[in-house]
Structure 1
Amino acid sequence: MISESTDAADSPGDTVSAVAAPQRVRLSADLDVDICVVGAGLAGLTVALEAARTGASVVVLEARHVGWNASGHHLGTVMPGYALPLSDLIARVGFDDACELWSLSRQGADYVRAHAAEHIIPGLALSEGALEVSNVDAGERLVSHLQMLAEDFATEVEGWQVDRVRDTLRTDRYFHAVHYPRAFQIEGRKYVHGLAKLARNAGARIFEETPVVGLDPFGIRKRIVTPQARLRASHVVLAGNVHLGGALRRLSDTLVPVWRHAAVTAPLGARLAEAVAFQGSVIDTDGIDHFRIVDGDRLMWASPETTWEARSDRHAAAICRRIRAIFPQLGTVEIAEVFSGAIGQTVHGMPQIGRLQPGLWVASGFGRQGLNTSATAGQLIASGIFEGDDRWRLFSPFELVWAGGPTGRAAGYAIGIATRARSAAAGALARYRERARIRARAREVRLAEASRQAGTRPLRSMTRHAPPSAPASDRDG
């Protein structure tokens, strides 16, 4: 992970240096290719890699440099699913299609795992497991959710009861949890640069500092204009984000930009192990906190969000307060590094994957689940172009929807504030009820003990003060 002010060096969250990128090359001569990919993030590079493996001529155009935005600034958690909750996904597309979409998300996670192997992209420091913790007492909902994931969606999961959660995460803020043992973490910046290297090795050409300033998507051969050269391509893949620019405003206007601010603490020593005994990622069910241990004794923590670009170091104090609120035993932690990246959040909460018109494709709007879903998008689009695979149509119900411009940003921020407030209130109420139950049980125990003692005292008293037996003559008379 890197800070806002850093370009090539990794933050303390990355235990080894970033994958060395080749010297950046701008496009300066006209080209005629099979596929032009706009955007050198996770999705665009996956498309480029898969397309180049077929032998097609592929060019990637990137306005800045590989992985400069969200694709290179995240906590590296890879797990199945989408930003849209599973229950909402079923309600939107039906049970069968929801199962198919979930299966694609699992395949996307498997794709990342396969390429994260040490002999393919080395040095990613892969660690296993993710824990989705509940801020409230989940109860029966947890059981039904686990059954659905395991039986209907073929996902390996394990339910954790409150005692186990709190033995692992020593805080009263969390209740039940869902453990995903097949989820994993990688160093995200190294992964995106590793994808770029694989794509180049397969024959794709990546041109950085080359923005698209014009696009004619009609006709058999699409025309793309850059500051110094023009391209023609049979297929154009729009794999950018909220920074696509005026030439691609149709797509960028469908996304609410959300900057997720995160930090890496200074070494915390043994006190961190006393508070957090889980080496994978921890994500709360309200989407507010996301953290994991890095470098053995540091916390990488993402929490505040804004719908406008802001310096991440201004949010360091807020992250410190959040860590202290969840784990007060850690005290006030020192922040060693801060970073952020803008994700594109769609109105409906699902990624935009598929064909807009013949030869024009889109892979965007991945929200917080970018690693697995961008891999899914890359595979689906490449197989759609070269194999006629039409599984991308499963995403057709989630079409391009205008995100509301500045008003949408303000609404998105307000919704985020309201969500946090509801979560805080629900969590406080859940903890209050838990304490009330504990007090009630303790009172019941005291009353039961008092009743037991009260019930035995009269018997002892009667035995102690009973008059002597009457003489036999009196009894006979």
Structure 2
Amino acid sequence: MTSILPRPKSKGASQQGTPAAERGADRRRVVDCEVAIVGSDLAALALAHRLAGVGREVVRLAVPADPALPLDDLLAPGFAMPAGALVQRIGEDDAGALWALSREVAAQGRDLAAAVGVPLGPKGALLAARAHAAGRLAEEQALLARIAPGTARLVGASDLERLLGGSSFVAALGLVPAVRIPCGALAGALERAAASVGIHEIAADGPVSCDLNGLRKYVDTPSTRIRAFEVILCGTGVLRAGAPHLAAGLKAVHFAAGRVPLSGAPPAYGGRVREFAGFGIDYHVDEGGLVLAVETALPVRTLSGAARILSRHARGLLPDGIGGKAEGRGYRILAAPHGMPLVGRIDKGVHVIAGLGLQPLSAHLLAAALVAEAIGGRDDRLALLQPFLALEPRGALASLRDIASVWRARLAARTGVAKAARASSASVVAQSAGPRPLPARPRSEAPPTASPKPSGASRSDGRGGPRREA
């Protein structure tokens, strides 16, 4: 895979390095270019840099980016969809190719961060399981050993307790390479460096509409019309304008997220921890406390409600480490229901990059790299993600199923914890009591004999007392 680092500045199609502009009949400014990118997330910025660096005339329409959880970003291989489900969907060969690409891009992302002056955070990414999911996690590790050797290392319960400061998780997969990046720092650095690679940026001053039929595509705002031969829609917000059929298939995932102060020194592990097949917990620890996101079945409406949820789960993760009141709020993240990013071509000259809200940062860079190579006609590996674009519209029944799935996960986790506690208690009792041998009887002592039956004077009446014969 080619490097994702910014290439030297390109002059573009015009002498000034900016697209030609003219006034249309409706008094809107008309901007012509080869490629129009609609979006402001990291994938949009990385894609614009790549295309401008190889001589493409690029216009980026800056629209509000998708909301994100307040945790640090993570450069690590993998996707929100477990590897087992991915293999069932597309087979081992293609799943292995996607994992290999994500691992390569995660390593390249560190070079990109260094090139634009973004400091890296602590290393590490753990996919942790409670007792009820330990067997499934072992299956995940065995599968990754086949399709992506060297990507995941198994961590046992004793090491986890030492690293995390609690005993909530009994096993984990450590993903490599993995590193935390300060929230939004890489996207901000790329945005500041946009002028150096000849990208023309336009701020959207109102609603965006798209006409993506025909050879030339149109992206409109109240004051500007962009005409391009290639259009890339980046972010779930712009899907309603350019790909409403995909927007109708997105799933709303609700979180309570924020910070919980800690007492004393933080745990030894500073990387990101994501729960496997459980509550939907994602967190990391820094000097300011525990930064935590917990998936909820229903939207979190109040700050006090979010604080209660965060405090309850924080006490479960670090029973002796909570040192103050939690502060958080509710978040609503739109994602694909299958847990993979929506990346691919939806029509001739039209690509989408969306559904990245719950994905690691490396998935943003991977999407940008694959779309850029596909537009240049040099690579067809974008087809690996094409099967995940087939989304069906979701209705009220699908939302009810989503709510039920969260409660099922919570019930499974609580049942697993209760079973593990009962098994541990039974083991301790059995070890402390043990089978007691019968006392030895002296040889001279005669064995006890059965007492003779009564001669008919009385017998039991069935109520524990004697009964007289007639």
TM range (shorter): 0.7 to 0.9
Identify if the C-alpha distance between structure 1 residues 307 and 201 changes in structure 2 by more than 3 Å, giving closer, same or farther.
farther
Summarize deviations over 1:386-412 as a string: whole Å, max 9, x none. Answer: 133111111222123134145433432
Shift of residue 112 of structure 1? Answer: 2.3
Inter-partner Cα distance in structure 2 for 1:83 and 1:172? 24
Summarize deviations over 1:168-214 as a string: whole Å, max 9, x none. Answer: 23333211122224211111221221222233421223333445532
Q: Percent identity?
A: 26
Given the two structures, how large is their TM-score scaled by the length of structure 2? 0.79
- Across the two proteins, how many residue pairs are aligned to each other? 415
> Structure 1 regions of 5+ residues with no counterpart?
1-26, 459-477
SS at match of 2:387: coil
Inter-partner Cα distance in structure 2 for 1:315 and 1:242? 25
Inter-partner Cα distance in structure 1 for 2:217 and 2:49? 21
Inter-partner Cα distance in structure 2 for 1:38 and 1:393? 22
- Residue 111 of structure 2 is matched in structure 1 by 114
Shift of residue 377 of structure 1? Answer: 0.7
- Residue 449 of structure 2 is matched in structure 1 by none
Inter-partner Cα distance in structure 1 for 2:228 and 2:201? 15
Inter-partner Cα distance in structure 2 for 1:310 and 1:199? 38
Question: Which residue of 252, 256, 265 corresponds with 1:257?
Answer: 252
Shift of residue 245 of structure 1? Answer: 4.0
Inter-partner Cα distance in structure 1 for 2:300 and 2:239? 15
**1:380-391 matches, cutoff 5 A:** 380-391=370-381
SS at match of 2:324: coil
SS at match of 2:109: helix
- Residue 277 of structure 2 is matched in structure 1 by 286
Inter-partner Cα distance in structure 2 for 1:53 and 1:180? 31
Summarize deviations over 1:213-272 as a string: whole Å, max 9, x none. Answer: 321112221111111110101111111214644554233212112243311233x342x4
Q: Which one has the bigger helix percentage? A: 1
Residue identity opposite 1:85 in structure 2: P
Check whether the contact 1:212–1:224 (CA below 8 A) recurs between aligned residues: no
Summarize deviations over 1:374-431 as a string: whole Å, max 9, x none. Answer: 1111000011001331111112221231341454334323322332222222233233
Inter-partner Cα distance in structure 2 for 1:442 and 1:334? 41
Check whether the contact 2:127–2:172 (CA below 8 A) recurs between aligned residues: yes
Given the alignment of the two structures, is residue 346 of structure 1 paired with residue 336 of structure 2, yes or no? yes
- Residue 329 of structure 1 is matched in structure 2 by 320
Check whether the contact 1:263–1:338 (CA below 8 A) recurs between aligned residues: yes
- Residue 463 of structure 1 is matched in structure 2 by none
Shift of residue 141 of structure 1? Answer: 5.3
Given the alignment of the two structures, is residue 206 of structure 1 paired with residue 196 of structure 2, yes or no? no
Given the alignment of the two structures, is residue 87 of structure 1 paired with residue 87 of structure 2, yes or no? no
Question: Which residue of 415, 421, 429 corresponds with 2:419?
Answer: 429
Given the alignment of the two structures, is residue 373 of structure 1 paired with residue 370 of structure 2, yes or no? no
Inter-partner Cα distance in structure 1 for 2:198 and 2:304? 39
Given the two structures, how large is their TM-score scaled by the length of structure 1? 0.78
Identify if the C-alpha distance between structure 1 residues 199 and 214 changes in structure 2 by more than 3 Å, giving closer, same or farther.
same
Inter-partner Cα distance in structure 2 for 1:109 and 1:77? 9
Identify if the C-alpha distance between structure 1 residues 223 and 91 changes in structure 2 by more than 3 Å, giving closer, same or farther.
same
SS at match of 2:358: coil
Inter-partner Cα distance in structure 2 for 1:151 and 1:207? 46
The structure having more radius of gyration, on CA atoms, is: 2
- Residue 401 of structure 2 is matched in structure 1 by 411
Given the alignment of the two structures, is residue 233 of structure 1 paired with residue 228 of structure 2, yes or no? yes
> Structure 2 regions of 5+ residues with no counterpart?
1-22, 443-470
Shift of residue 289 of structure 1? Answer: 1.4
Inter-partner Cα distance in structure 1 for 2:374 and 2:406? 36
Shift of residue 354 of structure 1? Answer: 1.0
Inter-partner Cα distance in structure 2 for 1:299 and 1:125? 19
Shift of residue 359 of structure 1? Answer: 0.2
SS at match of 2:124: strand
Inter-partner Cα distance in structure 2 for 1:303 and 1:432? 27
Check whether the contact 2:113–2:120 (CA below 8 A) recurs between aligned residues: no
Shift of residue 350 of structure 1? Answer: 1.7
SS at match of 1:30: strand
Check whether the contact 2:283–2:293 (CA below 8 A) recurs between aligned residues: yes
- Residue 40 of structure 1 is matched in structure 2 by 40
Question: Which residue of 98, 103, 109 corresponds with 2:100?
Answer: 103
Check whether the contact 1:261–1:312 (CA below 8 A) recurs between aligned residues: no
Shift of residue 91 of structure 1? Answer: 1.1
Inter-partner Cα distance in structure 2 for 1:247 and 1:147? 41
Residue identity opposite 1:358 in structure 2: K
Identify if the C-alpha distance between structure 1 residues 370 and 249 changes in structure 2 by more than 3 Å, giving closer, same or farther.
farther
Given the alignment of the two structures, is residue 401 of structure 1 paired with residue 396 of structure 2, yes or no? no
Inter-partner Cα distance in structure 1 for 2:409 and 2:206? 36
Given the alignment of the two structures, is residue 78 of structure 1 paired with residue 75 of structure 2, yes or no? yes
**CA RMSD, Structure 1 to Structure 2 (Å):** 2.9
Check whether the contact 2:107–2:177 (CA below 8 A) recurs between aligned residues: no
